[in-house]
Structure 1
């Protein structure tokens, strides 16, 4: 839908979780890791964009992050998944440390 400089998109995002998703803190260090579950998900999103002079100047989004997390088994986490999360975070931090070592 469009109205002047406003564009609205209602979309569905779907996929399968096949790789570790790593989050980073304000210092670009790994702060969390969600190891692959192999599960599929499908969630809706709505995006609102405002444009002026042919450029995108504002963007708002409404996503179903909780629905995605439940479908992927992130929430509520099982004790086994919490252990896998900690091991994946350890691997991500070690990988970052290895990249930062002088050669």
Structure 2
């Protein structure tokens, strides 16, 4: 009878051990799946970010290309003799008006 109880206890312990191993194996599989999904999500996000960066670089290049002539035109205008004479006139008026106050 005592041997039978030991045998039952040993069998029960084996069942519990097997259940724990199966549970641990299931948890390990779930963790592996989650890690794989996380890696895929990170890769996907990195790919989207890289695509967005390339898109923004292309937009910037396009804007620079389109703005170049306008910037050059503005520089030419602001540095023209007429503009320089205008600036000199403003400076002279400001100086003449401020010196007459004293």
TM-score class normalised by the smaller sequence? under 0.3
Q: Normalized against structure 1, the TM-score is what?
A: 0.25
Q: Which has the higher strand share?
A: 1
Q: Normalized against structure 2, the TM-score is what?
A: 0.25
Q: Which has the higher helix share?
A: 2
Larger Rg: 2
Higher normalized contact order (CA 8 Å, seq sep 6+, divided by chain length): 1
